[in-house]
Amino acid sequence: MKNTVQITIPVEDDNTREELIAKLSAIEFDAFEEKESELDAFIDEEKFNSAQLENILSYNKLSYTKEIIQDQNWNALWESNFQPVIVDDFCVIRASFHPPFSKIKHEVIITPKMSFGTGHHATTYLMISAMSQIDFTEKQVADFGTGTGVLAILAEKLGSSFVWAIDNDDWSIENSKENIERNNCKNITIEKADGFHSNKKFEIILANINRNIILENAENMVTGLKAEGKLLLSGLLREDEMDIVSSFVQKGLIHDSTTEKNNWICILLHKK
């Protein structure tokens, strides 16, 4: 049985909440719910490390309460809080129990589970918004840190001929496969992997993870990008921009743009 730890942190400042999400993501918290005066963060019970958590919270002198959610109760809890995510008139992410949205170009239907990346988080929103400005037709795409598979599914819906979706978490792989099947996708190959290691070259690479993993895999992502290929990065805070852009520019990429939402950023680069 796979139980989940829910941590509730009283915090009212938006910037502090966003900073906490970034730091908690780095220690394997993989789902979050932002409320007016608190942040709920979720992690597999077997991955929970109280010392790491307390070290992060001590910087802002924050406290927390802890609750164990039994495996069989998780989906009911997550689904009860899950609302459709709408990115302009371009894309909606909804569960099967939500009614269809007829006036939006693309629908991604998911089974709400613990995997990070349902679109409620600002970085997923930013990635989808940026994808609306990129031509995916017949492109070879990599989705590094696929989570629920949302971006991989959208890439196929936008015309990609092949999508390689990878993640290092068994739960994410299981959920992604379910969502890929639910959306009738045929061009997505999903694999479990601890890093970006591929002999293939891609025209588009998507990476919505976190600063440390992006930097650790920067060389391999640049190598795996075709000439004129595009690299779209998120899971990053505003203060990460200089270091991230500098790292990839030094490796030969060109910085095209940075977009921002709630102190989170999405960076678009391309290869000469």
pLDDT tens digits, one per residue of 117-156 = 555 578 889 999 999 999 999 999 999 999 889 999 999 9
Q: Which part of the chain has CATH 3.30.70.120? A: 4-79
| pLDDT of res. 137 | 98
State pTM to two decimals. 0.82
Euclidean distance between CA atoms 143 and 147, whole angstroms? 9
pLDDT bin (cut points 50, 70, 90) of residue 175 is: confident
Q: Which part of the chain has CATH 3.40.50.150? A: 82-271
Whether 263 has a pLDDT exceeding 90, the answer reads no
Q: What is the mean pLDDT of residues 56-61?
A: 90
Euclidean distance between CA atoms 66 and 5, whole angstroms? 7
Bigger pLDDT: 220 or 264? 220
Whether 51 has a pLDDT exceeding 90, the answer reads yes
Residues in contact with 40: Cβ distance below 8 Å, sequence separation at least 6, in sequence order: 6, 7, 8, 9, 32, 33, 34
pLDDT bin (cut points 50, 70, 90) of residue 74 is: low
pLDDT bin (cut points 50, 70, 90) of residue 22 is: confident
Q: Where are the beta strands (DSSP E) in the chain?
A: 4-10, 31-34, 38-44, 65-69, 85-87, 91-95, 106-110, 140-144, 162-167, 188-192, 202-208, 225-237, 253-261, 264-271
Sign (positive/negative) of CA torsion 93, 95, 96, 101? Answer: negative
| pLDDT of res. 144 | 98
Q: What is the mean pLDDT of residues 215-233?
A: 97
Whether 64 has a pLDDT exceeding 90, the answer reads yes
Give percent of the chain with pLDDT exceeding 70. Answer: 93
Computed over every residue of the chain, the mean pLDDT equals 90
pLDDT bin (cut points 50, 70, 90) of residue 114 is: low
| pLDDT of res. 269 | 98
Whether 79 has a pLDDT exceeding 70, the answer reads no
Q: What's the fold here for domain 4-79?
A: Alpha-Beta Plaits (3.30.70)
| pLDDT of res. 76 | 66
Per residue in 19-50, is it b (16+ CB within 10 Å) or e — as a string?
Answer: bbbbbbbbeebbbbebeeeebbbbbbeeebee
**Residue reference for tokens 């795996």:** 224
**CATH number for the domain formed by residue range(s) 82-271:** 3.40.50.150
**Hey, which of 26-30, 106-110, 218-222 has the most confident mean pLDDT?**
218-222
| pLDDT of res. 120 | 54
Whether 35 has a pLDDT exceeding 90, the answer reads no
